[in-house]
Amino acid sequence: MPTPAPRALLADDNPAVLQMMSLYAETAGFEPVCAQDGLQALDMLSGGLQPAIVVTDIDMPHVDGRVLIQSIRASETLRSTPIIVFSGQPRPEDSGGADRWLQKSEALELIAALRALGAQPAPPPGPLPAPGLQAGFGRLA
């Protein structure tokens, strides 16, 4: 029985970009799990998703990429998960907890970044805190 591909959580509010990210994740050897914004990504994570890597846009409705990154880094079970920002914004001085920051104009670099960062060991499986009990995983008002 073949080993299942590691999962890549992809978050972007643009369906065309999300489709492209999904294709690139598959090319890099991942099973893509798509979220249409940061809130949906947080819901998936609080529901038990343990991705091997996360790729997120920054500017998204409801919950932006910065909050998503902060929430992942605040989680004991997810904090070591590699995170790639894939955004139209230029990389700031402080990447805000992301391991790599790529502009959308650097789309072809995404496959290499997924392969490089995805080779790191995934966090051990474990339950996430119930929504609202720990910073970052409750619904935002």
Rounded distance, CA 141 to CA 136, Å? 12
For the stretch 34-49, pLDDT in tens is 999 999 999 999 999 9
pTM, two decimals, is 0.82
Structural contact between residues 136 and 71, judged by C-beta atoms closer than 8 angstroms: yes
* Separation between Cα atoms, residue 95 and residue 115, nearest integer Å: 20
In terms of C-beta density within 10 A (0-12 exposed, 13-18 middle, 19 or more buried), how is residue 30 classed? buried
Q: How many Å apart are CA 39 and CA 28, to the nearest integer?
A: 25
Phi, psi of 69 (to 5 degrees): -60, -45
Give the chain's domains with CATH numbers: 7-118 (3.40.50.2300)
56-105, pLDDT tens digit by residue? 999 999 999 999 999 999 999 999 999 999 998 877 777 789 999 999 88
